[in-house]
């Protein structure tokens, strides 16, 4: 069963991109919650907006690192099949990950408004601690931007499995041609 789920994860871009971004966001929240709590204590709980801005940048660093790792696993890692690491594969990985990130960047203003504004208002209007306001606001921002990114991804073709597969096959053909030319 796990192999079937992993196969689905690797072959359906709408699944792996949304799973990667959501999981990266959740892991980033978990990893950033403690630093946000420390920053809130250091800055002072009364400076809710400044804490909210700091939390945004802390979360962004963790999210970026986790997302790129998951993207590589979902789209470029083939367990059990040692694939040569060549320049074309590395370039394809970077281009593919950057396209998804570019689409996410379009949603950054909305994400920031929901995450930073939500966290700020939760701190200012309720008795919720900064670290929990961070968790609530960022979960809400992830949920809303995942829905919108899925719509964008279908419209732009980023979630098109066939298009992605064709690009991977072209890279593999180029690699094989180069290998034949070197051996000839």
How far apart CA 117 and CA 139 sit, in angstroms, is: 13
Q: Which residues span the domain enclosing 67?
A: 14-76+101-183
For the chain, how many structural domains are there in total? Answer: 1
Q: Is residue 86 part of a domain?
A: no
Q: Which residue has the higher pLDDT, 176 or 42?
A: 42
Cβ-based neighbours of 85, under 8 Å, separated by 6 or more: none
Q: In this predicted model, what pLDDT tens digit does every residue of 34-43 receive, in sequence order?
A: 998 999 899 8
Dihedral sign of CA atoms 80, 85, 91, 94 in order? positive
Q: Is residue 88 part of a domain?
A: no
Q: In this predicted model, what pLDDT tens digit does every residue of 85-131 receive, in sequence order?
A: 666 667 777 777 777 778 878 888 999 999 999 999 999 999 998 88
């Amino acid at each position: 069963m796990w192999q079937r789920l992993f196969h689905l994860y690797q072959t359906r871009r709408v699944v792996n991109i949304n799973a990667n971004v959501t999981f990266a966001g959740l892991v980033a929240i978990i990893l950033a919650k403690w630093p946000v709590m420390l920053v809130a204590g250091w800055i002072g709980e009364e400076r809710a907006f400044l804490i909210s801005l700091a939390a945004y940048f802390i979360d962004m660093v963790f999210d970026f690192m986790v997302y790129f790792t998951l993207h590589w696993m979902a789209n470029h890692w083939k367990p059990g099949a040692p694939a040569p690491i060549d320049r074309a594969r590395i370039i394809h990985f970077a281009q593919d990950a950057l396209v998804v990130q570019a689409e996410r960047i379009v949603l950054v203003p909305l994400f920031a408004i929901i995450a930073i504004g939500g966290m700020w208002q939760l701190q200012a209007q309720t008795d919720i601690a900064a670290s929990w306001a961070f968790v609530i606001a960022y979960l809400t921002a992830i949920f809303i931007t995942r829905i919108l990114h899925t719509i964008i991804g279908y419209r732009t073709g980023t979630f098109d499995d066939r298009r992605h597969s064709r690009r991977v096959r072209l890279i593999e053909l180029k690699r094989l041609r180069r290998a034949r030319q070197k051996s000839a």
